[in-house]
Structure formats: structure tokens, C-alpha cells
Amino acid sequence: MKIAVLPGDGIGPEIVAQAAKVMEALRKDGLPIELEYAHIGGAGYDAAGDPLPDATLKLAKESDAVLLGAVGGYQYDNLPRPQRPEQGLLRIRKGLGLFANLRPAMVYPELVNASSLKPELVSGLDIMILRELTGDIYFGQPRGIRTLENGERQGFDTMHYSESEIRRVAHVGFQSAMKRGKKLCSVDKANVLDTSMFWREIVTEVAKEYPQIELSHMYVDNAAMQLVRAPKQFDVILTGNIFGDILSDEASMLTGSIGMLPSASLDANNKGLYEPCHGSAPDIAGKDIANPLATILSVAMMMRYTFARVDVAQRIETSVRKVLQQGLRTGDIYEAGMQKIGCAAMGDAVVESL
């Protein structure tokens, strides 16, 4: 289990250190885990003038899986776009061919009051958002800012999806629905966008290979509404890059804290990059108050998807549950009557519980 560890910026190093404690404990128990560290994001820019140094991409390619903290920080906001931290993320996803981003949104019974929605709407919530990650308007060319004939300046981007890009992510969606509640909702904007009309056509075609799955289609504006009206109607949501970016953040808030949510980005062979859904939280960096559980749960996803060790994944997940049952909370999920602890203490508690 050769794992590239990329702490990144802001709270990245703090939360990754807790996940590393968990992996170290698993290694002591006999798992053949090998960790190697490299820079990404602002840390990559500071170390090598590039948010994705060549050495980092090389290490990631040679590893079985990648664990990433987060990237970004105020001090990098005015750099030219190619040097900005988030370019490191976009490039590593593209460089490793990670086209399928899986984000579970689960509500732990212990945290049902942390959600901004009424407990009865979210209690027992367990949905999976599958976002296509390497296509769409985020990568489409041409893009830029141009001057029109009338002298006015115009910003523009290009949205496109090729048939093969839609097909491969649709297969991942149907296969994950097979392992779950056998329902897949494909989200698009087919009433306005040609790209979405084509997306819907291809997803409907792929569905013929999965007759056990109940397929539905929903416009993205309605999906945004339904996620806060009746989120439990969903099992797997399949969508493109830009819609998935927004909907997965919305879904994360249903669960109460973005600090609890892991994610996996997979290639065609289940090699993956695992990271928390949240960003680098520069507002709380270095204060030992960040919640490391999303990063620790990302290790659980890595065990499940890349290493096919469901037993180890469940062991990590159960340990996290136990820590919550003990009443231990970082500030973001704190409620009266619980015991507030810091980032490092939370990591120690999970290791203890393992």
C-alpha cells in the first residue's frame, strides 16, 4: 500500500497528521502501509515555484493511492492563474486521469442536530454524489477574456462533454447504485444546454445495461431545491463537473459539518486520490481546532475503493463513530453537553478507539 501524502496548505498539514497517526496504527497492526510526502498547492509554489511540482506528480503516479489535505491561502490569491494553488489540484486530477469524484453525504445519528435542516428531514440520510471531474466547462477550450468588434470586453468559457467521458462516469454511477439503494438520479440542465441534452441521451443509453437500477433525471435547479426539501429521496446523484461542484457542497451542509465529509476521486482502475471535501480553512489554520475526521474518513474510503479492504474501512468508520458516541467534538460540531477537543486530541482519540 504505497501512499503519497500531500498535506498542502492551511489546515492541510494538521489534519493530514491525524490521518497519518491512524495509518501508522494500522501499519503497526500489520497492514503494509508505506507513506511518502510531497508538496502541492501553495506549499508546492513555495518549495518549487509550481503548485504541482514534477516530483509530486511523479510520486503520485508511482503510488497506489494519494491522500491530500487541502490547498489554498490568502497569500496566493494574487498569483497568476497557472501558479495558483487550485491549479495544482486540477492538474493532479487530470494527470492521474481521476474522472469520478465520489462524495458521500451521511448524517451520523450523534450529529443529527448539527444539520441546518430539521432532524426529521436528515435523520438517516445516506446519499452519494458522483461528480464527473475532468471535463465540462472547467476544462473546455476556448476560454478567456476577449474584446468584441464593438470594443466591449467579454469573458467566455466553453462547456462540452464527449460521449466517452459521459459513458465512463455513468458506468461508475450505475455500479455504485448497484452496491447501494439501486436508484440513480442524473442531474443536468437539459432544458437549456445542448451539452446536457447529450448527457441525458447517453446516460439513458448506458442505463439499458443496468435494468435493476431505477433511473431518473432532474434539472439542476430543481435538484438544488430538492436537496434541502427532501434529501432522503436520493440514493446516488450522478452529475457533471460544475453542477456537482455546487450540489456536493450543498449536500455537505445537510450533514452539519463540512469537517466530517470525505471524498474519493478514482481512475478507471480504482487508483484514487482521497481528500476531505472542505478547503484549507485559512481562518482556523495553525490553531489546532480543525476537525480531522473528514481526512481520517478519507483513509477509510481509500481502504474500501483502492485496496478493496472493506474490513479496514469499517474498522476506521466504527472508531470514528465510537469517538462521537463518547461525546468528543471539535468546535465545528460542538453542542452543549459535549466535550470540546482540538484537532490533535481528536486524532489521538480515533487511534485509541481503533
Which residue in the list 108, 136, 188, 189 is annotated as catalytic?
189
**7: its cell numbers:** 498535506
CB atoms closer than 10 angstroms to residue 90: 16
Which residue in the list 64, 157, 249, 348 is annotated as catalytic?
249
> How far, rounded to the nearest angstrom, does the alpha carbon of residue 148 sit from its chain's CA centroid?
38
- Are 69 and 41 within 8 A, CB to CB? no
Residue nearest to ligand NAD (CB): 72
Of 46, 64, 86, 348, the one binding ligand NAD (CB under 6 A) is 86
Active-site annotation holds for 76: no
Cα–Cα dist 66/4, whole Å:
5
Considering the complex, what minimum distance in angstroms separates the CB of residue 251 from ligand NAD?
A: 14
- Residue with smaller CB distance to ligand NAD, 73 or 262: 73
Of 283, 311, 336, 337, the one binding ligand NAD (CB under 6 A) is 283
Which residue in the list 64, 126, 245, 288 is annotated as catalytic?
245
Considering the complex, what minimum distance in angstroms separates the CB of residue 276 from ligand NAD?
A: 6
| Residue 262 binds ligand NAD (CB under 6 A) | no
**137: its cell numbers:** 466547462
Using CB under 6 A, which of the segments 149-157, 185-193, 278-286, 320-328 binds ligand NAD? Answer: 278-286
Cα–Cα dist 121/126, whole Å:
12
Considering the complex, what minimum distance in angstroms separates the CB of residue 12 from ligand NAD?
A: 8
**Residue 319 DSSP SS3:** helix
Cα–Cα dist 199/298, whole Å:
29
Cα–Cα dist 70/42, whole Å:
10
Considering the complex, what minimum distance in angstroms separates the CB of residue 31 from ligand NAD?
A: 25
| Residue 88 binds ligand NAD (CB under 6 A) | no
Active-site annotation holds for 221: yes
| Residue 291 binds ligand NAD (CB under 6 A) | yes
- Are 56 and 68 within 8 A, CB to CB? no
Cα–Cα dist 11/211, whole Å:
44
Considering the complex, what minimum distance in angstroms separates the CB of residue 91 from ligand NAD?
A: 13
Active site residues: 138, 189, 221, 245, 249
